[in-house]
A and B are shown apart, each in its own frame.
Chain A
Amino acid sequence: MGSHSHSDRRRFLTRGGALVSFVMGAVRSVRGQTPAPEGIAKDNLAYGQPSKFDNTIRRTLGQATAISDTALTTPLQDLDGIITPSGLHFLMDHVKGVPDIDPKQHRLLIHGMVDHPLVYTMEEIKRLPSMSRIYFLECNANNRPIRGPNGESVQNVHGRMSTSEWTGVLLSVLLNECGVQKEASWIVAEGSDANKYTMSIPMAKAMDDILVAYAQNGEPVRPQQGYPLRLVVPGWEAIRSVKWLSRIKVVDQPYMAWHESGNNADTIPNGKGLWYRFEVGPNSVITRPSGGQRLAGRGFYEITGLAWTGAGAVTKVEVSVDGGRSYKPAELQQPVHRFAHVRFRFPWTWNGEEVVLQSRCTDERGEVQPTVAEAAKNLGVSPDYFYQADHFNGVQPWKVNRDGSISNALFL
């Protein structure tokens, strides 16, 4: 029975429960009686696939925008633990198509304010001392408060984030090999996509913990995530984690490239604009039960979700089952990795009444995730101000209705 409990739970919780129940019903009739399939495709043996009974977890195509052809969101409601399978990693395409790069031809050029510029082949980069770290990547447009039919699920609202184990070389190793000059204060990183995507990063971060990664969850980085080489900038908005990395120019000022100025700057209510946000704020979201799912009936459920912060480590996650009137601490999955998603769990029994579930994150600096009302009060605006806002890290409430259906209650 143990091996089926996961499927059963999903049957009760998954969006479109009726359809899934029907499918599960069909499965049930043959469950345990199906002989081992003969003639499995050799590829399926050489590279394993999920069970045909549970091979439904998929990214969804999010809303395309003027700057993004493709927006693939991670199905957070269907995943467990903290690692996002590489094939389910989110994608926000700012570059008009994923480049098809032959690693034998790929070169990383480092030049500018260095004592000696260097160009590396992939083979040479892989000979350098390597490091593996579990880091989240989150788009700065994640958690963008939305309404309507696309605003109901955690995948649509929060699915522009994923966590992987990244392996590569510390950027500081490469920069030290070139000898960074004293006056240098920024780097400009460039991808080899069609648009040659460009971002400026302060030298202090570049010399600290940025990875030049060639592996994701043990395999080569997937093409959509930057194959063969990408930056992973821990804790910072993922727009700085340049994919298909091919050039680093060491400079003495931010270059204000299109994607870091016109395309990703912000306005704030006092009439000023902000160019750089860098770190993401303390954040958390309940992934199950969550918007669009349906509870099968009263009784026990485990509330679970993810917490993360650009500060480093999540130190506390609290869960409220009464719309924020009271909070209790959730259990954090150990070990807690800095700059990684943290899985939290909280036991709960539903009494069949209408309730609002939400979570709140506190990080190692003592920063606390605000509610939308608290964030609005701080800025002196109405909560509606945050409708479709970037960088939003407010508490996400999910309302459980009497019929068991769950909806996004951010803007009730």
Chain B
Amino acid sequence: MRFSFSLFAVVITLAICVPGRAQGRTYQLGSTPSEEEIKARDIAISPDGKELPPGSGTAKEGATIFAQKCAACHGPNGNGGGLTRGIVPLGNAKPVKIGFSLVPYATTVWDFISRAMPQSKPGSLTVNEVYAATAYVLYRNDIIKETDVLDAKTLPQVRMPNRDNFLPAEPGWKPGQKRPFGYYP
């Protein structure tokens, strides 16, 4: 009895310790990732911010981080490229890139800083540094105050200036439907 119990325990332990069990429904290929693997790789942040990790930062803190890790490319005042091209009203604008004006959600800024900055070592900022750098960028674009604290709750509530100035993808058009002559560009 004692022996069979041990064997049972060993089998159970083995089953738990081997996450590589084939799971694909039809072809039985691929393996089941661990929760930890998914968590470690799941860096995408949705507009509602549900994936935002705990942490916080202000523009004031962000200014220090900016000077240390961002100014080399973006310039000491952030006007060396990409950061403060200003918020441009969309009306009558030429159809050229006006970067920041076209960002609909503050989560987009957090997400891109988190995954792609600084360019020399993308993904190396701590969570608090990402919050602070995001706050600094938003502050420099006159979207939040210098002392506003950004965290998982407040960041998704930041209203980007042109949030409501976008049409849904090609109004009334769904992929596959014919469009009026000359719709493009």
Contacts and interface: CB of A to CB of B under 8 A. Distances in A.
A112 to B, nearest CB: 8
Given A118-B23, A179-B25, A392-B184, A270 B111 contact: no
B33 A118 contact: yes
Interface size range on B against A: 35 or more
Interface in A195-210: 195-196, 198, 202, 204-205
Interface of A: 66, 96, 109, 111, 116-120, 124, 127-129, 176-179, 188, 190, 194-196, 198, 202, 204-205, 247, 249, 251, 253, 255-258, 261-263, 265-281, 311, 365-368, 370, 374-375, 377-379, 385-394
9 contacts: A66-B82, A109-B37, A177-B27, A256-B104, A258-B116, A267-B90, A267-B93, A273-B166, A281-B184
A196 B116 contact: yes
Nearest to A108: B30
Nearest to A119: B33
Contacts of A272: 90, 165-167
Interface in B77-106: 81-82, 89-105
Nearest to B95: A389
The main secondary structure of chain B at its interface with chain A is: loop
Interface of B: 23-27, 29-33, 37-38, 41-48, 81-82, 89-105, 107-109, 111-112, 115-116, 119, 122-123, 162, 165-170, 175, 178-185
Given A267-B90, A368-B181, A274 B169 contact: yes
B103 A118 contact: no
A337 to B, nearest CB: 18
A204 B177 CA distance: 13
Given A258-B112, A261-B103, A276 B169 contact: yes
Contacts of A198: 44, 111, 115
B33 A111 contact: yes
Contacts, number: 202
A279 B170 CA distance: 10
A366 B104 contact: no
Nearest to B180: A378
The main secondary structure of chain A at its interface with chain B is: loop
B108 A258 contact: yes
Contacts of B30: 118-120, 124, 177
Given A109-B37, A117-B38, A272-B165, A196 B43 contact: yes
A272 B96 CA distance: 13
Given A117-B38, A257-B112, A392-B184, A277 B170 contact: yes
Contacts of A256: 47, 103-105, 107-108
Contact of A204 (B100, B175, B183): B175
Contacts of A128: 27, 29
B73 to A, nearest CB: 10
Given A271-B165, A367-B179, A393-B184, 9 more contacts: A119-B33, A202-B175, A267-B93, A271-B91, A367-B178, A374-B182, A387-B94, A389-B94, A390-B95
